[in-house]
Amino acid sequence: MALVGVGGLRTDSDFKKAEESGFCEFIACGVASILNKNLGILLKEKKGDKIISKFDSTHPEKFSMPTPLWDICVKYNL
């Protein structure tokens, strides 16, 4: 049975720790993938310093998301 690690992974360091822990075969990323439409590419190309880990509603130009998703992010301050 595969074990999936979920929750609180937002930075390159978080992903590395989860991967290196040896406790899970898969890693799930929710908020990080919402904030970074190119998260997989950034991780693959080892550009972790470019990962956006905090939502900032004052800078919508940093994010590429449809209005309904933007509204949810603002409402819950992801």
The angle at the Cα of 77, spanning 29 to 67, to the nearest 5 degrees, equals 85
Lookup: tokens for 6: 């979920």
Backbone angles phi, psi at 71, to 5 degrees: -60, -40
Instruction: Report yes or no: 48 and 13 within 8 Å, Cβ to Cβ.
Output: yes
pLDDT of residue 68: 94
Q: Under 8 Å CB-to-CB from 35, ≥6 apart: which residues?
A: 10, 52, 53, 54, 55, 63, 78
pLDDT of residue 40: 92
Question: Is residue 70 over pLDDT 80?
Answer: yes
pLDDT (mean) for 8-25 = 89
Question: Is residue 6 over pLDDT 90?
Answer: no
pLDDT digits (tens, 9 = 90+) for 22-69: 888 888 888 999 999 999 999 999 999 999 999 999 998 898 899 999
pLDDT (mean) for 1-21 = 85
pLDDT of residue 7: 80
